[in-house]
Structure 1
């Protein structure tokens, strides 16, 4: 099965084509752009298709990161994935960024439990634990730093993500939250197809309408 994986949930704009039958990444591109995912995504996709020497109609499944992460970036990726799936008539699945981070850590240290913890700013952490088999051991949550630190106290496993230091497990060097696109593809290939993916927002957007400035309707 040929899987098209998309990630625009963070600072990267990433696309991969993956052959699940041979566990082979046919092509992948990751550009660290910060913002502007909507403007770059199609060009990155074209590059990946050209490198893999495939056309879009060969794709049999779409996988996309659904968050938590950048509010706008997530919307770009999910909308693109659902559009491609509709036009191609193929299933589309969502993959959380926390499970991608945990899967990457599990590949480095198999058999160790993982906590994925992203700095959500405003004294909050996006937090999810995973057991030693790589399975989710709880739901993704937005917690205060203090609550996340309490849950992570005494944890004997791997803590990954930009909030690791905030919750008492400082990394050896500064860490940025990234979601390897090859892992997005592999996770997406294994997920059962079901409802269309939706953005995983663990809290509302940082930017909100200002009260008291609405224009009266005529």
Structure 2
């Protein structure tokens, strides 16, 4: 167990901040807080808190797992940017893990679903790799993501199983276009 890699994982793809530290199969520490806003300001303090609880310095982390969505656009960007920055600064691999992969970790053949706005759900049907958006009430038998702390643990376990040599840099998993629209007014003229 002492030679097992240490995995730091975190997720801000929904209304939460969740962090976990694993060594092999052992969960050294995990913590999650519900949070609709402010994930960017709370992510690194929570990472530090969880690493302290695990008795693990940041430079001892062997691999970083990060939730890439689907979910909240801003939340996904926060986690992915943090993971890529940590990976670069620590010279460690960062592995992006979709919420679908985290759901399917224990049961690979389930209909995985992630809640979406307006009573919709992002789903991934068994045997496919193309997600769909459907009304949530049309998939009552779908398996939803675990609570936030368990989601971070599942992300860490998926990252531990991944081959870092073949894993691309984490990138957001966006399944729908942004809700925001560009402004209609022309930008102001900048005078040198």
Equivalent pairs counted in the alignment come to 181
CA RMSD of aligned residues (A): 2.1
Cα offset, 1:143, TM superposition = 2.8
- Normalising by structure 2, report the TM-score: 0.85
Return the offset for 1:140.
3.8
User: Unaligned regions of 5+ residues in structure 1, if any?
Assistant: 107-111, 131-136, 146-162
Q: How much has 1:176 moved relative to structure 2?
A: 7.7
1:120-177 deviations in Å (ceiling 9; x for gaps): 23574311023xxxxxx112423343xxxxxxxxxxxxxxxxx3xx114268xxx787
Gap change, CA 1:178 and 1:68, over 3 Å in 2: farther
Q: Does residue 77 of the first structure (1) align with residue 73 of the second (2)?
A: no
| CA distance in 2: counterparts of 1:138 and 1:25, whole angstroms | 30
Counterpart contact for 2:102–2:145, Cα < 8 Å = no
1:119 aligns with 2:92: no
The correspondence for 2:168, drawn from 195, 200, 212, is 195
1:204 correspondence with 2:177: yes
Give 3-state SS (helix, strand or coil) of 2:78's partner: helix
The structure-2 alpha-carbon separation of the partners of 1:208 and 1:142, relative to structure 1 and needing over 3 Å to count, comes to farther
Which residue number in structure 1 is paired with residue 11 of structure 2?
Answer: 7
CA contact (8 A) 2:64 2:87 kept: yes
What is the rounded CA distance, in whole Å, between the counterparts of 1:208 and 1:142 in structure 2? 23
The Cα shift of 1:88 comes to: 0.6
Answer yes or no: is the 8 Å Cα contact 2:70–2:175 preserved in 1.
Answer: yes
Matches within 5 A, 1:92-111: 92-103=94-105, 106=107
Rounded to whole Å, the distance in 2 between the matches of 1:216 and 1:30 is 43
Equivalent residue number for residue 156 of structure 1: none
